[in-house]
Amino acid sequence: MKYKKLFSPGKIGSLEIKNRTIMAPMSAALANPDGTISDPLIAYLKARADGGIGLIITEYAFVNEEGRSSDHQISVASDEVIPGLKRLTDAIHESGAKICLQLQHGGRRSIVKVMAPSSILKQDERVQPYEMTTKDVYQLIDDFIAAAKRAKEAGFDMVEVHCSHGYLLNDFVSPSANRRTDEFGGNIKGRTRAAVKIIEGIKRECGRDFPVSVRLNGDDMVSDGNHARDTATIAMILEDAGADLINVSGGMNGVGYGIAPAAVETGYNVDPAEEVRSVVEIPVAVAGRINEPEYAEMLLRKGKVDFITIGRALFADPDFVNKAAAGLEDEIAPCVACLQRCYDNYGHGGIFRGCMINPFSMRETTMKITPAKEPKRVLVVGAGPAGLNAAWVAAACGHQVRLVDEGMLPGGQFCQASVPPHKQNLARAITYYVNMCRKYKVEMLQETKADAAMIKAYAPDVVILATGGVPLAPGSIPGLRDAGCVTNREVLNGMAAPGTKALVLGGGLVGAETADYMGEHGYDVTVIEMQDVIAIQDHPATRKLLLERLNEHGTKLLTSATVRHVYPDGVDYEKDGELVHIGGFDTVVLAFGCRPNNPLEAELKDFDGKVIVLGDAQKASNALNAIYNGTVAGLEL
């Protein structure tokens, strides 16, 4: 496909951008603890610049110490940070991209001093903020202007004023948080006055030709906040103040979808951005689950916006833009909107965030594909996420790799995991891994059972066992083995469970998603879980939407309930010391998770080469660990 709009040049004020792609400001948490620029942060952003992005907007940088919102956040609060910022801008310019520093104060989301225009509790917490005086507001304005001057001195091409996501300036412009009665409150002119004075001050101190972007919520996603037409009105006021770009996002203070899970529609901020675009003459950019180049091109061709702000798709693949330009869409590592590592799990590497699908992300200085000093002959058994990653990464390092799998299609447990509602992107991930295997000439054999004789006949130097897990059926529960239960995998593999009334044993993520799937297909479902929370492993934003769907289906959730006996049509369970019987079910579904499936390791006791066991074959865990450990295994052969 020819992306004639996406790869056309654009302008923001006087600044020329080589294409219509902008890297969204997303926290990588890679700055040094004191807020100065680190080598890993430079490497992370430079990889995206090398990948073809037109403009990088850095993650938020606090303009004064009280405004810090997170550990390892960039500082622009003093002149001492300028040399490090200059190292960053030099590196990005060498790669042919432009770079913008996002200026921010945490406000009610500060980890130093919780403060706000009015003493109103944050939506998701009960912490009373300090209510700023008029003098405080003028100091804040001065701090933003001073930060912009430092950014210009450090070589940034422009700055962005952060007025969204529940940070301090969002609280000023939003009626949800602003009840002030001085000049910075009241009507829309008063609520925008702080942002207006900041923009005017930056233009005065840095020059009219120094571009200023403003990040605005298209919708605050709270009932008494700003919505699309309010945002459009604010955008007009900020344009008159001198803003050169309106960069539309959405949500505030943990409400809405600042970072959206997979159940949120693609391009969910587009409609408010279009509202803004209809009333301003300056360009408008939009972010929000725009994860495929074809979709970005469509928005530009329709004239909805002028620039596409790409977020987690660049976490997943730093070369997203270059691959699209080269027609290599099948090699783009997809964002599956899982929130497992970019938003929730720091996981492997300590402070580092990352991407579940692409473990190289944000580890640019520590994880690299390099030619193997001694190429080896490698046999991988199992084409789930762990095995596929081990295979393609090893092949990319120069090893000769054969991958064998019993299934008709590759994917392992991801084949079932992609079936419940809003999980289809997991199939995209498998397709990507398979394409990478093909690119690096992995010999792939499906419907092939591996045994010790076959493995030894291949004569590998290394055997990687990634044979996954099998459903767990606790033999300690009386009646379970004889009750004629079906497994959640059988249901997700397309088996129509008998009848219409189902009992799901296990309310972890596997059981909850199976119940979601069955509820969507008309089953009357009850879920029983021994913990006091359903789907506790899920990210809170994803879990919230999952529970809403279960409620819509009428799914009954029994928590803090321990199964004591299983019957063909029900169970006895214990709750609060009382034994209770429920019955009358047509189907009982086992969703207790899985246990390792690893018969080959014992058969290879006398094998002369190296044996590595990965994923659930080693220990029942999750996709995060399977993908990460598979990647590391491929690198370290």
User: Which residue numbers are catalytic?
Assistant: 167
Distance from C-alpha of 490 to C-alpha of 357, rounded to nearest angstrom: 26
Reference 361, options 402, 395, 317, 426; nearest CA is 317
Question: Quick one: which of 179, 168, 160 has its CA closest to 68?
Answer: 168
Coil/strand/helix, residue 247: strand
Q: Which distant-in-sequence residues (6+ apart) come within 8 Å of 327 by Cβ?
A: 1
Phi/psi class of residue 266: alpha, beta or left (left: φ > 0; alpha: ψ in -120 to 50)? beta
∠ at Cα 512 (511, 515), nearest 5°?
85
Q: In the 8-state DSSP scheme, what is residue 246?
A: E
The answer to whether the CB of 193 falls within 8 A of the CB of 187 is no
Cα 167 to Cα 182: distance, rounded to the nearest angstrom: 20
| Contact between residue 425 and residue 356 where contact means Cβ atoms under 8 Å apart | no
Query: Which residue carries 């103040």 as its tokens?
Result: 241
Residue (of 157, 245, 251) closest to 206 by Cα position: 157
Token readout for 465 is: 């066992």
β-pair partners for 589 = 486, 504
SS3 (DSSP) at 58: strand
Q: Return phi, psi of residue 400, to 5°.
A: -90, 120
CA dihedral 437, 442, 443, 446 (to 10 degrees): -30
Token pair belonging to 111: 């980890």
- For residues 120 and 177, the answer to whether their CB atoms sit within 8 Å is yes
- CB 602: neighbour CB atoms within 10 A? 8
Which residues make Cβ contacts (< 8 Å) with residue 397, sequence separation at least 6? Answer: 369, 370, 371, 372, 634, 635, 637
CB 114 within 8 A of CB 108: yes
Contacts of 539 (CB under 8 A, 6+ apart): 261, 338, 339, 340, 343, 344
Could you give the dihedral angle defined by the CA atoms of residues 149, 284, 267 and 624, in that order, rounded to the nearest 10 degrees?
A: -20
> Do residues 587 and 504 make contact, with C-beta atoms less than 8 angstroms apart?
no
Tokens of 527: 């879920």
